[in-house]
Amino acid sequence: MDQNEALALLKPHLKQERYDHTVRVMETALELANRYGVDEKKAELAAIFHDYAKYRPLEEMKKWITSTYLPKDLLHYHHELWHGPVGALLVEKEIGITDVEILDSIHYHTTGRTHMTQLDKVIFLADYIEPGRKFPGIDEVREAAQVSLDYGCWMATKNTIGFLMSKNQPIYPDTFYAYNALTKAKNNKHEGK
């Protein structure tokens, strides 16, 4: 599936501003994939479909979580965390993408996970630093993304956890698992282990 075909399939599912965000995530993901030697075709498709389920009604997402293999604990956390896992499911069902690496990077794009693949990291980080984003601390994450994929993702998970804690929000376990795995990798590297 080429870029234009994929974008045309995506477009009816998103509002204009979300579509524009997606195009910026795609461009950012392609840059990161190129820089860090990750499969650009997979990065392109995963980025295009990462927010595919963003506007599905909550009741529909709930139904998919309840009736499929998706983790049930999602229902006990903010519904903002549902569109990644449900998106991966629907991109397979409705768009016909079967590549597990692509589907996983869509599934985990909001939280990350333990031992993220290189593709997971590209999508997670591209979504965080695309040029339209204006989070507090974003410049530091953009600089870290120039140093390495791991360092950029580590900084993004650290920022997200700090942000959620400052708002007294619960944090989904995968967000902690991602942060822990990236922190251990970073510390081991610095200690020369």
> Using CB under 5 A as the criterion, which residues of the chain lie in contact with Fe ion when the complex forms?
51, 127
- Which whole-number Å values give the CA distances from 35 to 78, 133, 145, 179, in the listed order? 34, 21, 10, 23
99: number of Cβ within 10 Å: 16
Please state the closest distance from residue 173 (CB atom) to ligand DGI, in A: 8
Q: Which does 75 bind (CB under 5 to 8 A by kind): ligand DGI, Fe ion, none?
A: none
Q: Map the footprint of ligand DGI across residues 153-182, applying CB under 6 A.
A: 160, 164, 169-172, 175
Contacts to ligand DGI from residues 74-93, by CB under 6 A = 77-78, 80-81
Distance CA(158)–CA(135), nearest Å, equals 13
DSSP sequence for 24-68: HHHHHHHHHHHHHT--HHHHHHHHHHTTTTTTS-HHHHHHHHHHS
109 binds ligand DGI (CB under 6 A): yes
23 binds, among ligand DGI, Fe ion, none (CB under 5 to 8 A by kind): none
User: At closest approach, how far in Å is the CB of 143 from ligand DGI?
Assistant: 20
Site string for ligand DGI, 6-25 (x = CB under 6 A): ---------------x----
Single-letter amino acid code for the residue at 55: Y
The binder of 175, among Fe ion, ligand DGI, none, by C-beta within 5 to 8 A per type, is ligand DGI
Tokens of 112: 């990350």
Which of Fe ion, ligand DGI, none has residue 66 at its interface (CB below 5 to 8 Å by kind)?
none
Q: Pattern 127-146, binding to ligand DGI, x per CB under 6 A?
A: x-------------------
Residue 28 to residues 8, 62, 123, 132, 184, Cα–Cα distance (Å): 19, 31, 9, 11, 26
Nearest distance, CB of residue 188 and ligand DGI, angstroms: 24
Nearest to 42 by CA among 94, 89, 96, 100: 100
Q: How many residues bind ligand DGI (CB under 6 A)?
A: 18
- Give me the residue label for tokens 């990798």: 185
